[in-house]
């Protein structure tokens, strides 16, 4: 039985040992990182707080008509840096129009994306690059096209602006990339990098559990052997003393 436990523990430990090391290393590394900086929350600028000129704001029906929208399902009045806008959801998807004139502002172009990112960035660093992505990337895993606006702030800050809605949908930086590497190794999802229920993780976690249980089995068996050996040694000492005492009395 002991040999079986030893063999199981040895081979399983060899298989999952590297991954267990990565789990521990990743957990330690992520615990040492400031999540606020990982998420670039310190770069979030305060939202614009100007008073909405409601007397000049078009009704959603009027704004949709001017923008040429046949049907709208949802409408929200939103503050942008340079004025209020209507954000419509309808048969064309998300469409943003100027709430004062009804002119369409989407899809967002490069110049507008840079303006939105600059308005949402709490700092004075210059914009270094504006790039367009039609499909999700390793860094930006949301559906839909987006603009990536980079800032020269020493942290590699990158702000993503949704091309359809003009909303800032993600913030990334160099620390986030490091965190993401450890997170990926930790959850073992090398595709989407977000699924903590993936089969690979479940299999390795199960094997790691069996390894630990096999190790506990070995530990219990060894402790039992030590206890039995200690009890046997005590009996031998008592027997030896019992044989010596009559000889002492005879003298």
d(CA 156, CA 158): 6
pLDDT at 168 over 60: yes
d(CA 238, CA 244): 10
Q: What is the pLDDT at residue 96?
A: 93
Q: For 188-223, how does the pLDDT look when each residue is reduced to its tens digit (9 = 90+)? A: 988 888 888 888 889 888 888 877 787 777 777 778
DSSP 85: E
Q: At what angle do helices 199-250 and 2-32 cross, to 10 degrees?
A: 120
Least confident range from 60-69, 171-180, 200-209, 235-244: namely 235-244
Q: What is the pLDDT at residue 225?
A: 80
Q: At what angle do helices 174-187 and 2-32 cross, to 10 degrees?
A: 160
pLDDT at 151 over 90: yes
Specify the pTM. Answer: 0.77
The mean of the pLDDT values for the chain is 87
Q: For 89-132, how does the pLDDT look when each residue is reduced to its tens digit (9 = 90+)? A: 988 889 999 999 999 998 899 999 999 999 999 989 999 999 99
CB atoms within 10 A of CB 81: 13
d(CA 183, CA 201): 12
Q: What is the pLDDT at residue 25?
A: 92
Q: What is the pLDDT at residue 30?
A: 94
Q: What is the pLDDT at residue 118?
A: 94
Q: Where are the beta strands (DSSP E) in 1-91?
A: 72-80, 83-90
Q: For 7-22, how does the pLDDT look when each residue is reduced to its tens digit (9 = 90+)? A: 766 777 777 888 888 9
d(CA 173, CA 154): 9
> Distance between alpha carbon 192 and the CA centroid of its chain, in Å?
11
């Amino acid at each position: 039985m002991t040999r079986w436990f030893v063999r199981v523990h040895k081979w399983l430990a060899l298989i999952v040992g590297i991954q267990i090391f990565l789990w521990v290393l990743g957990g330690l590394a992520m615990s040492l990182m400031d999540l606020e900086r990982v998420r670039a929350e310190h770069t979030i600028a305060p939202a614009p707080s100007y008073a909405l000129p409601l007397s000049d704001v078009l009704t959603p029906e009027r704004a949709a008509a001017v923008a040429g929208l046949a049907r709208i399902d949802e409408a929200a009045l939103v503050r942008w840096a340079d004025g209020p806008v209507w954000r419509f959801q309808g048969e064309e998807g998300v469409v943003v129009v100027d709430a004062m004139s009804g002119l369409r502002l989407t899809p967002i172009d490069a110049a507008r994306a840079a303006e939105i990112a600059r308005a949402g960035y709490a700092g004075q660093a210059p914009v270094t690059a504006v790039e367009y992505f039609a499909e999700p990337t390793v860094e930006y895993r949301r559906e839909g096209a987006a603009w990536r606006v980079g800032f020269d702030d020493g942290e590699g800050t990158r702000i993503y602006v949704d091309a359809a809605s003009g909303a800032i949908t993600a913030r990334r930086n160099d620390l986030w990339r490091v965190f993401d590497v450890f997170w990926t190794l930790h959850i073992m999802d090398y595709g989407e990098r977000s699924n903590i229920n993936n089969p690979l993780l479940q299999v390795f976690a199960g094997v790691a559990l069996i390894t630990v249980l096999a190790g506990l089995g070995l530990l219990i068996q060894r402790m039992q052997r030590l206890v039995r050996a200690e009890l046997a040694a005590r009996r031998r000492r008592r027997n030896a003393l019992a044989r010596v005492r009559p000889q002492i009395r005879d003298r």
